[in-house]
A and B are shown apart, each in its own frame.
Chain A
């Protein structure tokens, strides 16, 4: 569900397996028509042509064993509303950014799988996705309704298809590491106009990033979440010239194109979970308010 860059990576790969039938649900009818006519092409970090069955009509999808939600976080609700009937006997996984997607999905379907994915790309044209970065995916049960054995079936299928994935009992560690990384760096790029590398080389800004990271870590710790690695390492690694020094954060790209950002699900998610667990998050709240202000300025001016 949601066949943009990340959704297309999963759909194209999984469609290569003989024992898996893949339906790709997306509202972009040109993209769907192109993948049904010419296949779904990936190029860049790997080149392949997948053959998922594309549709913009959720009623056309038969009952499925697994669903993968890959929309932007603000579209989770309409995406799962449209497709919940497909999964009355199945599982729905999320590989989206941010916090709160599992909760939204669990409001519509019984069995939910938490997921975090690091591969990235962009839609070049209908039916064609540029695959920029390879990376791992981690899946885990959202709650006791989802047995780990079934999560392993999904992870195994992804791995066999060429999208390496793990199944773990608690997938919140990788999820929070990625959320804290994104929430602490993306909005700083969006508010200042600086690339990731330039944000990190200004010691005063890098200290602000650490302030945001520390709040996120406190909220994770209050929930008993053990981060699989320190988000600070990911931040410093990405700042290297050969990694992502010149990368403009997706939120900066959103702001420059005047597209709604995912700030409510990143910093806003940390603030919300912080409130639920009695952990103050003043910096994340300030950053969320500023980015919301930026979004508001587009309709005011």
Chain B
């Protein structure tokens, strides 16, 4: 059986680890030893869209990891740098896959080792109910593509492994069109949700009056498209259509940036909105509205100390 390491056991890491454990030998790398011990003893329960308890290995010590063929770094973007640093010098035979929101995860990881790298973006979502229980909420796909020292065939093999475990996955020869579509979607929807307190609901698609929120959302998406075009990326999906479609699901999704702001936690602003604004700057594209959203959310984080 394939040996897989899943580093990070938040909701996405837990969903990946539990499902993959049905098709591979999985070891979870946690931050806390008691989390690893609980996983070894109790397994990892999945409820919601799937219903089973996975048996898997777990450790908080990177030196104790097996010589795996695949390692998925499934932490939040804000935790990626310290995680990659902990993994430096380990996993000599592994292909490493990033799955963070935004841009730049691959560069962060490549600075800490010369593993072959795969990129991925995921549209599935889950809710953690403790160290050994995750609820599978949205069973949408994970998209995988080559990044460094890998080919589409490597992406296909990982996609097949995820599907064998019961998740949805698709491989692409070039992930950037999908990655950028999700980046523009997230920078827009998460930023607007964090500033207004609105979950991703019908307001985001409303364009009847000049002051309707959908007009701003569409203008933000248009700025993002201009940056993608300047970067030579042809988007896989239209982020505006993704937005409209998501608001029509009838399920009021609370984007993580809104949850972070309400809980007064640091957000993924830098790797999402910051990455988009940074690319715009680098490419000489004017993005005044996205810049305003970026600065406002950043200031909102600064207000936690008021």
Contact = CB atoms under 8 A, between A and B. Distances in A.
B159 to A, nearest CB: 37
Contact of A292 (B213, B252, B298): B213
A252 to B, nearest CB: 10
A290 B196 contact: yes
B303 A268 contact: no
B288 A289 contact: no
A116 interface: no
B292 A211 contact: yes
A294 B197 contact: yes
Contacts of A195: 306
B299 A199 contact: yes
Given A194-B303, A204-B295, A300-B201, A294 B216 contact: no
Interface string A254-297: 00000000001000100100010000001101111110111011
A95 interface: no
B216 A285 contact: yes
A291 B138 CA distance: 30
A293 B296 contact: no
Contacts of B201: 300
Interface residues of A, number: 33
A82 interface: no
Interface string B262-306: 000000000000000000000000001101110110111011001
Contacts of A204: 295, 298-299
A49 interface: no
B225 to A, nearest CB: 16
Given A198-B306, A264-B211, A288-B211, A300 B199 contact: yes
Contacts of A120: none
B25 interface: no
Nearest to A206: B295
A202 B198 CA distance: 26
A191 B289 contact: no
Given A194-B302, A202-B302, A283-B288, A289 B216 contact: yes
Contact of A208 (B195, B295, B302): B295
A290 B300 contact: no
A191 B295 CA distance: 11
Interface in B146-185: none
A92 interface: no
A192 B295 CA distance: 9
Contacts of A282: 219, 288-289
A98 B215 CA distance: 23
A268 B201 CA distance: 23
Contacts of A191: 195, 296, 300
B256 to A, nearest CB: 17
A193 interface: yes
A283 B302 contact: no
Given A193-B303, A289-B216, A296-B203, A208 B296 contact: yes
Contact of B211 (A211, A283, A289, A300): A289
Interface in B25-40: none
A140 B226 CA distance: 46
Contacts of A275: 210
B212 A289 contact: yes
A275 to B, nearest CB: 8
Contact of B198 (A194, A199, A285, A293): A293
Interface in B182-216: 192, 195-199, 201, 203, 210-213, 215-216
Given A192-B296, A211-B288, A211-B292, A301 B303 contact: no
Interface in A80-109: none
A294 B292 contact: no
B211 A285 contact: yes
Contacts of B295: 202, 204-205, 207-208
A188 interface: yes
Given A198-B306, A211-B292, A192 B299 contact: yes
B226 to A, nearest CB: 14
A271 B289 CA distance: 15
Given A193-B306, A205-B299, A286-B216, A297 B289 contact: no
Given A208-B291, A286-B289, 8 more contacts: A192-B300, A193-B300, A202-B302, A211-B288, A271-B210, A289-B216, A293-B195, A297-B198
Interface of A: 188, 191-195, 198-199, 202, 204-205, 207-208, 211, 264, 268, 271, 275, 282-283, 285-290, 292-294, 296-297, 300-301
Nearest 6 pairs of A and B residues by beta carbon: A293-B196, A193-B303, A297-B197, A192-B299, A289-B216, A297-B198
20 contacts: A191-B195, A192-B300, A193-B300, A193-B306, A194-B303, A198-B302, A198-B306, A204-B299, A208-B292, A264-B211, A268-B211, A285-B215, A286-B293, A289-B212, A289-B213, A290-B195, A292-B211, A294-B195, A294-B197, A301-B197
